[in-house]
A = this chain, B = another copy of it.
Amino acid sequence: MSEKGGGLYAGARTETKARLKALRAALASEKADAILITDLKNARYLTGFTGSNAFVIITESRAFLLTDSRYTTQASEEVRGFHIKTVTKALDAVAALVASMKIRSLGFEAANVTCSMHSRLSEAMPKVRLKPFTGLAGIRIRKDASEIKGIRASASLLDTGYRDAARLIRPGAIERDVALSIEMALRRRGADGLAFDTIIASGPRGALPHGKASEKVIKKGEFVVVDMGVLMDGYNSDETRTFVVGRATTRQSEIYGIVRDAQARALEAVRPGVKAGEVDAAAREHIRKSGYGKYFGHGTGHGVGLDIHEGPSIAPGNDEILVEGMVITVEPGIYIPGWGGVRIEDMVLVKKGGYELLTKTGKDLRAL
């Protein structure tokens, strides 16, 4: 882990500088003297550190990474531009540092800090004003070059899992066995893990948008929805394909075609300057006009990066504007209770004038 992380982040050091600069701009607008970062993904984003114990303190002119003795060597290899301190009692060390710099107001991540931890922070520095801070989600929503490289690699690895899926899905196979075999192959090829429990939902189970692979036996004639993601070097990927086992019926071909067209329309809508809700509407409108509107109950997509679900939400009525550098999923579906479902999902990078497809498995209906 340490070596791989170091390798990735070696090329990202100019970018961690830019990230720190963006955070400092937020610091000024939040009117805090310093910000305490406790979310491990945010700490990684700012410093490049991939360990599991990190407290980051940023002031206008200084930057500290606090970690424990397990990670001293790793932190010194991965991180540049931060004072690295090895500490035993992290919150006491934070308080001591805050006191030594005469910090009076400290931003903290309200979505990450529990009430218990907040109490301990307050007790350790009774004179410091703790201010809820939300600034990093807004910075992370736009991916920089080294992040895009990481996401591209994760998506590209994920594509290989769909080759396995096409080989393993057959009448008589058990959903869970297929999922395990694919996971194992992905991990042997370099995935650090899955982004989420693999969804393999065959036949009527396809009507569940979150049908985790089960003990169900896959049968001839069924649709099989396969929704997977991998985590590699910190970055998530997310993709869905729907296969048919044997020959598709007329109704299966029709419904697959509607979802495929809906996804194509949503993709066509993706470009900088467009509202997230417009991308959703492009898919939703097509499914509605085709007569299946009530069978598409979820949003059309979401941002992906260090977290598998990030902003922006590609959902009805979301006025957030897409900008270059966002990475989003586009994943409409039709789910008919008792019959089954179809979902097709790609991950795309928002680029000048349009988008770039990051997941590249074919989308013609494939009969296995």
Q: A1-B214, A180-B187 are in contact. List 19 more A-B contacts (CB 8 A).
A: A1-B212, A70-B208, A70-B210, A108-B115, A110-B114, A110-B116, A110-B119, A111-B116, A112-B114, A113-B114, A113-B115, A114-B114, A115-B115, A115-B132, A116-B132, A119-B132, A177-B188, A180-B188, A184-B184
Is A247's CB within 8 Å of the partner chain B?
A: no
Interface size in chain A (residues, C-beta < 8 A): 22
A112 contacts across to B, CB distance below 8 A: 114
CB distance from A106 to the nearest CB of B (A): 13
Complex A-B: 24 CB contacts under 8 Å: A1-B212, A70-B208, A70-B210, A108-B115, A110-B114, A110-B115, A110-B116, A110-B119, A111-B114, A111-B116, A112-B114, A113-B114, A113-B115, A114-B114, A114-B115, A115-B115, A115-B118, A115-B132, A119-B132, A177-B188, A180-B184, A180-B187, A180-B188, A184-B184
Rounded to whole angstroms, the CA-CA distance of A1 and B112 in the bound complex is: 29
Return the chain B residue nearest A4 by Cβ.
B215
Contact pattern, A 166-185, Cβ under 8 Å of B = 1, otherwise 0: 00000000000100100010
Contacts of A111 in B (CB 8 A): 114-116
Q: Which residues of B contact A210 (CB under 8 A)?
A: 70
User: What is the bound-complex CA distance between A188 and B177, given in angstroms?
Assistant: 8
Chain B: CB-nearest residue to A3: B215
Assembly stoichiometry (copies) = 2
Complex A-B, nearest 3 residue pairs according to Cβ-Cβ distance, in ascending order: A110-B115, A110-B116, A111-B116
Q: How far is the CB of A173 from chain B (nearest CB, A)?
A: 14
Q: Complex formed: what's the CA distance from A81 to B154 in Å?
A: 46
Chain A residues 227-286 with CB under 8 Å of chain B are: none
CB distance from A2 to the nearest CB of B (A): 9
Cα-based distance from A187 to B177 in the complex (angstroms): 10
> Among A112, A115, A208, A214, which residue has the most Cβ atoms of chain B within 10 A?
A115
Min C-beta distance of A119 to chain B, whole Å: 7
Chain A 22-66 residues near chain B, CB threshold 8 A:
none
B-side contacts of A113, CB under 8 Å = 114-115
Contact residues in B for A214 (Cβ distance below 8 Å) = 1
Chain A 72-115: CB-based contact to B (< 8 A → 1; otherwise 0): 00000000000000000000000000000000000010111111
Contact partners of A212 in chain B: CB under 8 A: 1
Residue in B closest to A210 when the chains form the complex, CB atoms: B70
For chain A residues 176-201, which have a beta carbon within 8 Å of chain B? 177, 180, 184, 187-188
| A118–B113 alpha-carbon span in the complex (Å) | 11
